[in-house]
Amino acid sequence: MSPLISAPIGSEVTVAKIAADDKVKRRLEDLGVLAGQPVTPIASLLGNTVLRVKESRLVINHGLAERIYVN
């Protein structure tokens, strides 16, 4: 298990754990980022990570990307 920021761009990974408070976890779940869900980092821009989640794109900041753990 490693932080999302260390996942190679373009590789599909599976969310293992989100180390954040309940409010942040619920918001991410609403956006499709939850344990067991595959996501694909598609770019890293100015410290932000762009993810493909299902058929959508989501931009998250570096601090949050460090608290999302993937396999």
Q: What is the CATH number of the domain that holds 17?
A: 2.30.30.90
Reported as a single tens digit per residue, the pLDDT across 6-65 is: 999 999 999 999 999 999 999 999 999 999 999 999 999 998 999 999 999 999 999 999
E-strand stretches of 5-65: 13-18, 38-45, 48-53, 56-60
Handedness of CA 59, 62, 67, 70 (dihedral sign): positive
**CA-based nearest residue to 44, from 56, 62, 57:** 62
Cα–Cα distance for residue pair 39/5, rounded to 1 Å? 12
Q: Which domain holds residue 22?
A: 2-70
Distances (CA, A) of 15 to 21, 46, 50: 16, 23, 15
Say what percent of the chain tops pLDDT 90: 96
Instruction: Tally the domains of the chain.
Output: 1
**pLDDT (0 to 100) of residue 67:** 96
**pLDDT (0 to 100) of residue 29:** 94
